[in-house]
Chains A and B, each alone.
Chain A
Amino acid sequence: MNQPATAPCLQHPQEELLRSDRIPHIWCSGCGIGTVFSCVLAAVRKTGLPLDDVAMVSGIGCTGRMAGYIKVDSYHTTHGRAIPFATGLKLARPQGAVLVASGDGDLIAIGGNHFIHAARRNIDMTVICVNNLNYGMTGGQQAPSTPFGAKTTTSPTGSPEEPFDFCQLATACGAVYVSRWTSIHIRRLTESLTKAILKPGFSFVEVLAACPTAFGRRNRMREALDMVKFFHERSVIKNNIDPREFPLDFKGPLVVGEFIDRERPTFTDSYALVHSSQLGEWPDLERQKPAAG
């Protein structure tokens, strides 16, 4: 399916992981998704995992189109349902690494219920959310991430709602790895994604990114660079903090960093334990991994 090999100097650095026969992609110029996508490809490479054993699942939205450009087994499913699809995929083939790429609306509006339950179960997957503060693909409507007062096509005078703080939500629901970056934090984001993919359990990486076409132009950030500058000026890195104590705040400081990195048995560990007859009787039982064999 590949096009004839191009001269090495013209090849994309992630050629092996890119469906180059699908380029040009659909993303607008200045869109933050492309940057995040490059970081995802770099992170997948850095994990050293055999590429046949990596899958990406996405829902619907501009972010969801990532699944169409990465050259691994990739599944572009229905709006909001990437996580339950990925749950089946992972449990049916536990040796594979499963990535979910999702927009803020896809993941937390229509897919919110699946998100909280997959985190609670600690299904071993890495969920990457491009948070561009609105529904990009449908032209810029209000999302559960839209900040109070921000303008969208369905909140033309400013959103009357308070948004979710996704990292707080993921932490409260039991995710074992939680980080937030912006699309300017390329090196840190790539490192964070690499860690998240290799971490057993439910990992969540949120990336704040520009959507100049749909969000920026209604909120005095018409040019792609406006949002980038904004991130540059306001973001502050704080690692190992409880995201509940540093809520996402666009007036600044905009706190990003690797917030949570903790241990908890995955669904697969717990499933093996409860069927191993080594489990005690509730409520007086200890959580431990079943003895091998």
Chain B
Amino acid sequence: MASKAVLTGTHFMNGDEACAEGALAAGCRFFGGYPITPATEVAERMSRRLPQLGGIYIQMEDEIASMASLLGASWGGQKAMTSTSGPGFSLMMENLGLGIITETPCVVCNVQRGGPSTGLPTLVGQADMMQARWGSHGHYEIIALCPSSPQEMFDFTIRAFNLSEQFRTPVLIMADEVVGHMNERVVIPAEDTIELVERKRPTCAPEAFLPFRPEADGVAPMACFGDGYRVHITGLTHAENGYPAMEAGAHERMLNALVNKIKMNRDTIISYDTEYLDDAEIVLVAYGISVRSARRAIRAGREQGLKLGLVKLNTVWPFPEEFIRDLAGRVRALVMPEINLGQMVLELERCAGGRCPVRLVGHAGGAIIRPAAILNVINDLVKEAV
């Protein structure tokens, strides 16, 4: 295999491999892995590719350790990532929280399978969406992206690194088994056309540096190991100087800073695409592999004369609240296909705020949503309206 970081050209590869290539193109040089179906191919490719680029692949003893190793590597100045699926994602929740409170950039890709527990190791699921939002204890904001093709596994992984560096926070890629394992065309652009974001580093004198004082963009510069700032970083509630501060006022300041840096930059972070929205009366809101089911249903429905549209969520967290609220006031109904028995649809419902009916096309997991199942729900909606 070539030993270039960016394999510019047209490839036929699966989503997991595209994710690994996206990470390398984004400058990732540390991967703390632990094998798990259906994410193993990400780790396997990284174990071959990283040493060629002077990077480190290390297989840790479990996912608790792999998540902890990413945080260490990030403070060591590297861009770091891991990949996993449900059981490993559960083990990562502890140190995901540490990453959030210590504002540590890193990327975790969850190639979702059916759960709970060991569930369906080889079959698809989209049921970790609320775990992505709230899986670690305490209150926080999170950024999560949902690729719907191998190409997006490449593109969104780069974006995940950029967002994590820009906002100094762990970023989740919530992929799924089908997107991870399907082989499709992946176009890797020329290296100089790929825009990369690097974390801000302090420039002031060490005595004047406050490692958790946000700048105007809500984000503080990060002093990594060896930069000469000799910072103290703790998972305890801390003041702007990084020192533990055990009182409610300090906690409020810190938590607001953590939440605000995401909230005030929502417009930069949130990404969605729309299709056929101009004349749409019923709009499908979908993410990940379910986007493909939705597209198919829309095409079939339009052939029947139904005015259907699509909102494809590229980022699921933060949720595009204002956009959905506005949309709900303009259409007859919103429908969400997702491979669980109702997760993101709760958020959709909340944001629609009763302005229009919201329907779930759910599936317990193990198979993708059939377009026919979507059309059935749509036809019921049409009948109800008559």
Contacts and interface: CB of A to CB of B under 8 A. Distances in A.
Contact of A81 (B68, B74, B244): B68
Interface stretch (A92-100, A155-163, A235-243): A92-100
Contacts of A113: 61-62, 65
Given A72-B230, A73-B231, A88 B64 contact: no
B94 A78 contact: yes
Contacts of B62: 113
A211 interface: no
B58 A85 contact: no
B72 A89 contact: yes
Interface residues of A, number: 41
Contacts, number: 148
A208 interface: no
A89 B61 contact: no
A267 B32 CA distance: 14
Contacts of A55: 225
Nearest to A88: B72
B91 to A, nearest CB: 11
A271 interface: yes
B69 A88 contact: yes
A96 to B, nearest CB: 6
Interface string B204-244: 00010000000000000001111111111111100001011
Nearest to B30: A92
Interface string A199-213: 000000000000000
B255 interface: no
A96 B98 CA distance: 22
A114 B75 contact: no
Nearest to A65: B244
Given A84-B64, A84-B68, A92 B234 contact: no
B56 A78 contact: no
Given A73-B226, A86-B72, A81 B65 contact: yes
Contacts of B77: 92-93
Q: Name, among B32, B72, B73, B223, the residue most crowded by chain A CB atoms within 10 Å (CB to CB).
A: B72
Contacts of B227: 52
A75 interface: yes
Interface of B: 29-30, 32, 51, 56, 58, 60-62, 64-66, 68-78, 80, 94-95, 97-98, 102, 207, 223-236, 241, 243-244
Interface of A: 1-2, 19, 21-22, 51-53, 55, 57, 60, 67-68, 71-78, 81, 83-93, 95-96, 113-114, 117, 267, 271, 275
Given A78-B97, A88-B69, 12 more contacts: A19-B232, A74-B230, A78-B68, A84-B66, A85-B72, A88-B76, A91-B73, A92-B73, A93-B225, A113-B65, A114-B68, A267-B58
27 contacts: A1-B207, A60-B235, A67-B232, A67-B234, A72-B230, A73-B226, A73-B229, A73-B231, A74-B232, A78-B94, A81-B64, A81-B68, A81-B94, A84-B65, A85-B71, A87-B72, A88-B74, A88-B75, A89-B225, A91-B73, A92-B72, A93-B224, A95-B226, A96-B76, A114-B61, A117-B61, A267-B58
